A and B are shown apart, each in its own frame.
Chain A
Amino acid sequence: MASQLPRRIIKETQRLLADPVPGISANPDESNARYFHVMIAGPDDSPFAGGVFKLELFLPEEYPMAAPKVRFMTKIYHPNIDKLGRICLDILKDKWSPALQIRTVLLSIQALLSAPNPEDPLATDVAEQWKTNEAEAIKTAKQWTLSYAQA
């Protein structure tokens, strides 16, 4: 479909494979080099510790002028991630810059797992819980991690 894979994507892919970010793996699909199968390990300091979360990442035709499309495939209890796995993260929307990379995006998502931001919620019910009863929210997040995010 795409005429030729841009050098930028080839280089990013090479680097992701040769020098992976700790706790993150990203592998291009065999049939489509713009589609990546991503795994992010739940950060140790978070309620998602011990879980492995599957994501999909797609580089649209306009990439890097437009942001990659990223979505959680694994169910997760997080105020900035909704039922469909969509992520509320500024750099995936208006704060996207062509100088950002797949690597930086995945790092930001990893950081989002460590630091949920209920002030900027996507899943409002989860955010509400996170703000009113954080202990309970963290307990639920741990339960979900155990139930859904085991490798």
Chain B
Amino acid sequence: MDDEDMSCTSGDDYGGYGDEDYYNEADVDAADDVEVTPTHSEEAEYECLTVSQVERVFLDGMNQLTARIPVNDKCARTLLEANQWDVERVVKLYRQDRTDLFRRSHIDARPEPKRKLSATSGVKAKGYCTVCAMEGHAELPHLACGHCFCEHCWKSHVESRLSEGVASRIECMESNCEVYAPQEFVLVIIKSSPALKQKYDRFLLRDMVNSHPHLKFCVGNDCQVIIRSTEAKPKRVTCLACHTSSCVRCGADYHAPTSCDTIRQWMTKCADDSETANYISAHTKDCPQCHSCIEKAGGCNHIQCTRCRHHFCWMCFGDWKSHGSEYYECSRYKENPSVAAEANHVKARRALEKYLHYFERFENHSKSLKMEEELRDKIRKKIDDKVNEHNGTWIDWQYLHKSVSLLTKCRYTLQYTYPFAYYLTGSPRKNLFEYQQAQLEKEVEELAWAVERADGTARGALEAHMHRAEHKRQTLLHDFFF
């Protein structure tokens, strides 16, 4: 069956490439000879947006929503932010139960706190703020819930939340009130402090972009670009401003054929040598909802993620809400200690050996890639020399340059096949993968050999190597990535 898959793939996708390619000597076509046209692109479809363009994306979403249901712009923004910018979903929830939607989106309060408020505020003097215990405030701003506090306290509250990195989820100051302060409210409160406003705007943009499933910040240093893509697969994006390439889904280095979750696991594992990584793995866990890294600073196992506010159990990662009487199932030690200890020791050893096998190969390709950067420079120089000696034109020697580029591309994919293989289970699929990986490995090394000795190798032979390596790479990606 595996063989069928293989032949089917190569037949379908690469049938157009016959032997004539290898012997094609025409200069005009030379550049394209080795390009194997893939059925799927490794590049994600995306666009690079500026902050103002992103604001327009948000406005479009808001306009779509306000055209469907009778809410104002600000309300629409909050509703969409709380619901992954899914207009259909908001409209559906709105029609089902408006009150519930507004409460879940932290726009309106539950009815109880309002009663409590009227009971306490009746006793107090006019213009009294319960937080600073001062009277005579001319104004006591409040959110939709009606809990009144003075401007000064609101400002301190906003400042305190901002210092914790919270912007779009600043709660009302009243105990147990879950209404979030909307943007226009916060902006009025902090209008006298440009520094706070700047901080708030920055964090708010971050929160808004993070809440949108199609938007991601460019991972380049100090790059302001926001990448918009509806790509579901972890394909590659390259920022048009800073030229940083990354995976469109997770923002890490492009990692085909490996998936985002796997590469995150792998990278954490690889960094295990360092003390920091040891500390991270010993003392932190990722939030099961937003994958933020969380350090447990207290004893309590009921954790709330400060970023996404998700409540979960530190031991079993279950939602805390559904966490009932079976709690101790997740901390109870079940195995027979002496047998388990010995087995674990052996298991750990074997696991380490397996890991080292994959890691050494992953790391080795990474080093080779760096060294082949030097090779690229050498070849560039060699081309210059040849052209200067009137030995052919610059265009004639471009195939050498292309061969190093292709070598890099193939080796890069090969490098990232190792994390994939490490986590791959299930034997028929694993066998096929390892077969294809071995094929690619062989072709890459033959290509590397040929490229390093490009002088002595005939152009036709070199291009045959190039074609075969790219062919293997495409086959592997086709079967395991696309």
Contact = CB atoms under 8 A, between A and B. Distances in A.
B56 interface: no
Interface stretch (A48-56, A70-78, A86-94): A86-94
B157 A98 contact: yes
B235 to A, nearest CB: 38
A99 B131 contact: yes
B323 interface: yes
A62 B160 contact: yes
A11 B124 CA distance: 14
Contacts of B298: 86, 88, 93, 122
Nearest to B323: A119
User: SS class of chain A's interface: helix, strand, loop or mixed?
Assistant: loop
A104 to B, nearest CB: 8
Interface residues of B, number: 31
B156 interface: yes
A8 B176 contact: no
A119 B331 CA distance: 12
User: SS class of chain B's interface: helix, strand, loop or mixed?
Assistant: loop
Given A86-B298, A86-B299, A98-B153, A119 B177 contact: no
B327 A7 contact: no
Residue from B171, B298, B300, B301 with most neighbouring chain A CB atoms (10 Å): B300
A100 interface: yes
Interface stretch (A20-28, A38-46, A123-131, A140-148): A123-131
Contacts of A64: 131-132
A93 B300 CA distance: 11
Contacts of B149: 98-99
Given A88-B298, A88-B300, A99-B175, A119 B327 contact: yes
Given A7-B132, A99-B147, 4 more contacts: A93-B300, A95-B175, A98-B156, A124-B299
25 contacts: A6-B132, A8-B133, A8-B134, A10-B133, A12-B133, A65-B160, A88-B299, A88-B300, A88-B302, A91-B175, A93-B298, A93-B300, A97-B173, A97-B174, A97-B176, A98-B153, A98-B156, A98-B157, A99-B149, A99-B174, A119-B325, A120-B301, A124-B299, A124-B301, A124-B331
Interface of A: 6-8, 10-12, 62, 64-66, 82, 86, 88, 91, 93-95, 97-100, 104, 119-124, 128, 131
